[in-house]
Homo-oligomer: A and B are copies of this chain.
Amino acid sequence: MPSTGAIAGRRAPSHQRRHARLELWARYRRHLYADEDLDLVLDVSRVRFPESLFDAMSKRVGAALDAMEHLEAGGLANADEQRQVGHYWLRAPMLAPSLQRRDIIDAIAQVRRFACSVRSGEIAGPGGRFEHVIHVGIGGSALGPQLVSEACGRPADALMVHFLDNADPDAIDVLLGRLGDALPRTLVSVVSKSGLTPTPWQVMLELEAAFHEQGLGLARQAVATTMAATPLDRRAAEHGWLARFPVWDWVGGRTSVTSPVGLLPAALAGMDIGAFLAGAAAMDRTTRQRSMAANPAVLMALMWYWLGDGRGGKRMVVLPYKDRLALLPRYVQQLVMESVGKRHNRRGEVVEQGLTVYGHKGSTDQHAYMQQLRDGTPDFFITFVNVAHDRDGPSPVVASGATLGDHLFGYAEGSRQALHDRGRDSISIDLPDVSPSSLGALIALYERATGLYGELIDVNAYDQPGVDKYGAADVIALQRLVVVGLRKLKAPATAEMIATLIGRPDETETVFKLLRRLARDPLRGVAEIRGNDRFDARFRSIEGSVL
């Protein structure tokens, strides 16, 4: 409406427009999904799908729901890796096979007990009661816990959770600098499902050194979350860490937030993890329904499919109007893009599928890229996420008889309408609040929608064959060859000469970059002698290398 100034009496709407708006209201009523228990609303009325869509897709949706049933019953849903996919069991252990059931129940109890002991001070650090947690993990081992922490954390929480989710040494220094002399009251939680993910392992080694430098032993302040008998699990056992929490083969990283991976930091911060699990479980029940109109995950997956023609032809902009949910778009980005961004379909055909997700938060982003969304390339759809609860406590009126929260709602509603007026489609999700329960439900909704969408486009949504291809290992191995090769040099040599010397002339470019990188740091034992241009530079080994 803002685009025409049609409401609030500025200009009477034309009959045509009035008619169109009344039709939209009818469409809104007709297609609204409202979950009275969860107090959650999904509105797909502003996607211009034809009414025939449901009939046309009912068979395929039925097959997708069948596949989800098979998955939940313990079938090998991740065929490539011959693995079960069990994240739905995490919040409904009674539905899990008996072995998994026991594991889940025990793990949740163990998380609760441990968090309780830490918060009570029964388990404490050498400096007393723990006040901080450093959560070390990457990808699925970090993003879910970060989302939960930002969404549900409170300034009064007894423990503050910090994250190290990258191989960036400077980030470690910044965090340790911030923690200052609180290190003796800091718990370190290392999370790696495989127990050998390089980055968390290496960050752990860095922290060990930093703790040691302050006269602290990491073991006395550390816990591990990993599968049984992994290198991390063994190290934690051998070094006598405070505790070890399980995660299982049948939980994927990007869907591990309702496992100990996400529950432990949440419980440590004091969040009601029971409510979180219950919210997810309630949404799971709802999204098992066969009726398309009564299943919000089906509605969402169907919209994604229709909007992008089953090819991801439109980018999905996720826009929560709430600072606490600013990480939701990145969480959904990981969940969706890693699940459906696949080269092959299940029949082995090359399909190069995907569904690009981005976004941050409204109304802030209205002042950033929304200019393009309204006026520019129409290659996207938006999902607005609104939160009814503005804040704890009353709000002052800040303008026009309205509160700040009223304005936030106004921005979302105004944007939805302005985009619709320009033919840009949108989905809206209304949440009652950002509570553990609502967050659990929202996450479960996106998990199920992603799984169903994966079925509709016939890709394995549970593997990630491309991720392992990005390792640093080959570059690091090349670096070793370079360092060793340099030591054998009789005279300084160019990158091209050194690459040939070590038998890798095809890797000259990377050798060149490695040499320049090493030569920048006086402690690395590599000297650069400048030439006529940067490519003529010669390098030699010098004494005192730390490598």
Contact = CB atoms under 8 A, between A and B. Distances in A.
A160 to B, nearest CB: 10
Contacts of A474: 1-2, 5-8, 10, 410, 414
Contact of A2 (B34, B355, B406, B471): B471
Interface stretch (A75-83, A116-124, A242-250, A365-373): A365-373
Name which of A34, A414, A481 has the most chain B CB atoms within 10 A of its CB: A414
Name which of A143, A481, A513 has the most chain B CB atoms within 10 A of its CB: A513
Closest 9 CB pairs of A and B: A341-B372, A139-B367, A410-B472, A155-B177, A354-B376, A8-B477, A341-B376, A410-B475, A354-B377
A334 to B, nearest CB: 4
Nearest to A150: B174
Contacts of A32: 534
A169 interface: yes
A398 B202 contact: yes
A504 B205 contact: no
A390 B170 contact: yes
Contacts of A390: 169-170, 521
Interface residues of A, number: 161
A36 to B, nearest CB: 8
Nearest to A15: B506
A392 interface: yes
A290 interface: no
Interface in A97-151: 138-140, 142-143
A483 B116 CA distance: 47
Nearest to A157: B177
Given A7-B477, A409-B513, A410-B479, 12 more contacts: A9-B477, A13-B506, A17-B506, A18-B505, A22-B505, A138-B364, A169-B403, A174-B324, A203-B404, A367-B467, A409-B475, A413-B475
Name which of A367, A464, A465 has the most chain B CB atoms within 10 A of its CB: A367
B464 A371 contact: yes
B205 A396 contact: yes
A488 interface: no
B167 A404 contact: yes
Nearest to A351: B376
Contact of A315 (B315, B323, B402, B504): B315
Given A167-B363, A377-B341, A333 B388 contact: no
A395 interface: yes
Interface string A378-402: 1110000000111111111111111
A536 to B, nearest CB: 11
A126 to B, nearest CB: 22
Given A7-B477, A166-B363, A477-B7, A375 B322 contact: no
A137 to B, nearest CB: 9
A436 interface: no
A22 B508 contact: yes
Interface in A161-205: 165-174, 177-178, 180, 198-199, 201-203, 205
Given A343-B376, A466-B371, A478 B323 contact: no
Interface string A429-464: 000101000000000000000000000000000001
Given A199-B363, A510-B413, A534-B34, A388 B28 contact: no
A466 to B, nearest CB: 4
Given A166-B363, A334-B369, A356 B467 contact: no
A87 interface: no
A154 B177 contact: yes
A57 B80 CA distance: 47
Contacts of A59: none
Contacts of A180: 155
A205 B506 contact: no
Contacts of A538: none
Name which of A34, A166, A362 has the most chain B CB atoms within 10 A of its CB: A166
A265 interface: no
A465 to B, nearest CB: 7
Contacts of A311: 377
B414 A470 contact: yes
A411 B360 CA distance: 25
A542 interface: no
Interface string A3-44: 101111110010001100110110011001010000000000
